[in-house]
Amino acid sequence: MDLIGIAENTVKIILILGLPSLMVSMVIGLIISVFQAVTQVSDASLSFVPKVIFVSIFVLISLPWIGDNIESYTQDLWGMILLFGQR
């Protein structure tokens, strides 16, 4: 694997780990937007605070999964460093 392959895998891991939190934020934002449209309440903090709370809870719940993925990717990278060092 070359440097481009390592960069591609890094971007893939970033997307895999970041997209679930982004999706939670998007769903909560959509629900809050519908609520604001129905009740005609237009307060900026009404949208911000629940997103922060729900995304934080989601990240805390999914932290073991995130840690496992980062740990395995880091071990793969260290293995590649050892292979490159033997050349």
Q: Where are the domains of the chain?
A: 3-86
**Could you read off the pLDDT of 20-72 as tens digits, one per residue?**
999 999 999 999 989 888 988 877 778 888 899 999 999 999 999 999 999 99
| Contact partners, residue 74, CB within 8 Å, separation at least 6 | none
Q: Which pLDDT band, with edges at 50, 70 and 90, does 82 fall under?
A: confident
| Residue for token pair 């934002």 | 29
- Structural contact between residues 30 and 54, judged by C-beta atoms closer than 8 angstroms: no
Rounded distance between C-alpha atoms, residue 22 and residue 24, angstroms: 5
DSSP 25: H
pLDDT score, position 44:
75
Angle at 26 between CA 44 and CA 43, to 5 degrees: 10
DSSP 26: H
Residue 84's SS3 state is: helix
